[in-house]
Each structure stands twice: as structure tokens, then as C-alpha cells.
Amino acid sequence: MENSNHYNVIILGGGPAGLSAAIYLSRARLKTLVLTEGTPGGQMTLTHEIANYPGIEKINGYMLGSVMKKQATAFGAAVKGNTEIRSFRLEDKIKSVTTGDGQAYTAEAIIMATGGRSRTLGVPGEDTFRGKGISYCATCDGDFFTGKEIVVVGGGNSALEEAVSLTKYATRVTVVHQFDHFQAFQYAVDEAKANPKISFVMSSTIASFYGEEKLEGVKIKNLVTGGETDFKTDGVFIFIGYVPNTEWLRGHMNMNDRGEIIVGADMSTNIEGVFSAGDANAKRYRQVTTAVADGTIAALAAADYLHSQKRK
């Protein structure tokens, strides 16, 4: 009798990378399971509007995630949301995953699509106004602030490069940085300082966000004097780092010093039969489209791996 909890491929993560992989695998008639700790769609569901997904003029991030899930399940994939991963074994020929409800699942291949999250400030109002004036992605949301005045938080390469990029839309960009010097390369510092639309507030941080229906302003705290200033703004972009959701995989997979999974061109990891796709991978650009591409490649590579195992 067939084990109902055995699959050809288990995908850990239900963002655009994981769901894209599920679409390809299930359409290839491979028994596929997606396990995700949150709502299917991942970080994408937090985006109020996606306007740069090819072929779709505008769509809510939650809706795009729902459509991807519907496609995957229509082809036969099983998708289980709000599922905690309690334990796993990746090195064996038959991989296993045990969830918080005590269910044990096995598969011949695994695709990691655990994604990541932008590093947050963790101050009052940040959760309230996320997606309502607070953004962590200039490429995703910059256009929504055309003709507006905004704040960029951070002092690394990403912060300064994105600040310059955002001047294509915003009338004024104020960079708030906690130190009296930047951590960015000099070319990025020089470019930002040369831009007449950009001003700087150094040795300072955001103490809180406030507003009614949407973000209306921030409290900027000077870290030298301790004083706080009320600063009106239409939006805040936070670029203080990125955290891959890989803490639980340390010691099992090859990663760089930032905790990002190192993969080959086919999304293969150092463990045979285990692939990784999406924002948890070591790469420069993180967009919905790049996650979809990674998921597609990982699915095709996993299918090839399964076929090669059958030939042995």
C-alpha cells in the first residue's frame, strides 16, 4: 500500500520560489508537497501592490500568492500552510521532515525555499505602517512615492544606492544613519552626496513611526545628544540588512558568512538531492521574478535528479 506521506519532492517554503517549483513539479506529475510556516505567498503577501511582474499590470501581493497556490494545487500539489518544521533529515537517500503536529513526511528530493526577511528597526509603529508608508524594497515600491518626500534608513551600499535610485521618483530623500560615517564603498557615498535631492542626518536613528491610516511622520533620535525631533514624511525605506531564514539549517548546508545558502547554477546544494531556491540563496538581487526563476530551475533540476536515480 502506498505511503500517503511519501512524496517525490518536498518543498520547504511557500513563497514565489516554492510555489513556482510546485507548479512545475506537479505539472510534471511528480507527487509534490509544500510545507510553509506562514501563509502561502511568503513575503510577497506583505506587498500592497506589485506593478512590475511581467504580464500583469498590477496585482496585490496576497492575490498573486493565492493565484500561484491555486495553480500548484490544480496540478495536484499539496500545500500545507502555518506548518512548523520540528525536525528533518537531509543527508539520507530518502529525506524526512517532521512537522509540529507530529506528522512525518518523506521524499526522494527536497527543495529549500525558506526565503528571508529584511532586517527591521523594531521600534513602535513599524509593524503598523509596514506597507502603509514603510517599505524595504525600492524596486518594488519606489514608483508609489512619485512627487513625495521620503526617508531612507541605513548607511551601507544598499541604502545609499537605493537612495540615489529613489530620487527618480521622490522630490526629496533624507538619509538617516546611526553612525557619523558610512559603511558603503566610496563611490556610493560620493554619488549620494553629489545628488542635490539627498540630505543626511547622521548619528541618528528612527525612534518611532506615527500616523493615522498611513504613515505621516517619524521621531528621529540623535544618538549623541539623546534628543528627538519630529519629522514629517510620506514614506520610509529601511535598508539595514537582510536576514535569510536559514538559522535552523546551520551545520547542515554550505552557507556564506551571512547565512545565505550556496548553490550551483542548477540550484543544487552540497547535499545530494537537496536544492535551494529564492531569497535564502547567496545572490545579489531579490525580487519576485528572481525567486520564480530560481524555483523553476530548482524544480527542473530536481526532476532530472529523480529521473537519474531511477536509471541507477
The residues that are catalytic are 137, 140-141
- CB proximity list for 112: less than 8 A, separation 6 or greater: 12, 13, 249, 253, 261, 269, 274, 275, 276, 277, 280
Residue 57 burial (CB count, 10 A): 7
Distance CA 69, CA 51 (A): 20
Could you say which DSSP state residue 257 is in?
A: T
Residue listed under C-alpha cell 527543495 = 111
Q: Of 291, 305, 302, which is closest to residue 53 (Cα–Cα)?
A: 291
Rounded to 10 deg, the angle between the 157-166 and 186-194 helix axes is 30
Distance CA 253, CA 276 (A): 10
